[in-house]
């Protein structure tokens, strides 16, 4: 059934009711991208799965949603926003005894997560805009909706500044960022990733997003982020992360390491471009240590990176840390 149209990878496409497995495949192939967006789409897919399940067989309903859950979680193993969003949908469902109770709770959880996610972006924009001053030169990396929300709000407030956006290879998400900012009227210059240190001497503020924030305050984000942070640290330029609290990882509290996803070599070199004995290493993310991060802008306030542990406990709670199937 057709729902309407949406903007995906820079183009408008028709949208239909899809199963969680269908959405998982679109996340895996990066047709759906962005940490917050994949989390919201996963929650919506699980809601649609439970709505479309025929009959009142609770076990069958559970089995269907758990299959969808597993497919979604496998699609982007590094993205904690996806993990948190999916598990939020299942919150308080383990002891329900009727299919209708289960369906209602899944719907409520999915709607609450999606609503909170969207509202968080607005709040981050308002709080983060205070970090941008008139005449600033801001550098950003990859395509962070949270970082863009901050810049959009600052611009709407009448502040005039310019932005340098890294190309962000191999997927070149920086081109998406440049288009988003240009539509708002914000002056933007695209630079190649390796030019970051060269331009850093002229930068006043770095704004990036996050895929995952560990309990020690380390930020897992698009490959190259740590190099941007290192260059900013050397040049004494404030390095600010913009992230919703559902990007904080409860799993890291008990020692679990964040898995760095490695993608296909053809994203870097075309088939036949190098001899078969040449190995291509294509990690998607890297880790920026907390000592290179000045602050993290969240929907609950601007915090130091070392406050990540308290955020995880307060906002996500023990049921996220000890999730039960």
Catalytic residue numbers? 142, 211
Please count the other Cβ atoms lying within 10 Å of the Cβ belonging to residue 231.
21
Pairing of strands 205-208, 239-242: parallel
Taking the C-alpha atoms of residue 190 and residue 276, their distance in angstroms, rounded to an integer, is 33
Residues whose CB is less than 8 angstroms from the CB of residue 157 and which lie 6 or more positions away in sequence, other chains included: 129
User: Does residue 253 contact residue 318 with C-beta atoms inside 8 Å?
Assistant: no
CA angle 296–297–300, rounded 5-degree value: 115
Separation of alpha carbons 225 and 128, rounded Å = 19
Q: Are 299 and 235 in contact (CB under 8 A)?
A: no
SS3 of residue 208 by DSSP: strand
């Amino acid at each position: 059934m057709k729902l309407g149209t949406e903007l995906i990878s820079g183009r408008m496409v028709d949208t239909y009711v899809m199963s969680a497995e269908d959405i998982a495949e679109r996340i895996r192939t990066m047709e759906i991208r962005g940490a917050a967006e994949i989390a919201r789409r996963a929650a919506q897919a699980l809601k649609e799965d439970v709505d479309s399940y025929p009959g009142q067989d609770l076990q069958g309903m559970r089995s269907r949603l758990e299959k969808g859950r597993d497919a979604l979680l496998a699609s982007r193993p590094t993205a904690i926003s996806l993990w948190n969003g999916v598990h939020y949908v299942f919150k308080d469902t383990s002891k329900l005894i009727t299919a209708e109770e289960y369906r209602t709770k899944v719907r409520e959880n999915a709607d609450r997560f999606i609503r909170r996610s969207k509202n968080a972006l607005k709040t981050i924009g308002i709080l983060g805009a205070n970090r941008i001053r008139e005449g600033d030169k801001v550098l950003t990396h990859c395509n962070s909706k949270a970082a863009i929300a901050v810049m959009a709000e600052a611009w709407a407030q009448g502040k005039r500044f310019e932005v340098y956006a890294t190309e962000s290879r191999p997927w070149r998400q920086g081109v998406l960022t440049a288009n988003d900012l240009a539509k708002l009227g914000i002056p933007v210059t695209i630079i190649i990733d390796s030019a970051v240190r060269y331009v850093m001497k002229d930068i006043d503020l770095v704004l990036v997003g996050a895929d995952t924030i560990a309990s020690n305050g380390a930020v897992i984000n698009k490959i190259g982020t740590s190099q941007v942070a290192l260059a900013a640290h050397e040049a004494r330029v404030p390095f600010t992360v913009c992230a919703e609290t559902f990007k904080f990882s409860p799993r890291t509290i008990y020692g679990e390491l964040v898995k760095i996803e490695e993608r296909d070599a053809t994203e870097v070199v075309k088939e036949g471009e190098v001899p078969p004995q040449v190995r291509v290493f294509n990690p998607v993310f890297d880790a920026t240590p907390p000592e290179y991060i000045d602050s993290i802008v969240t929907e609950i306030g601007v915090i130091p990176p070392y406050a990540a542990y308290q955020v995880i406990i307060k906002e996500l709670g023990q049921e996220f840390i000890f999730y039960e199937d």
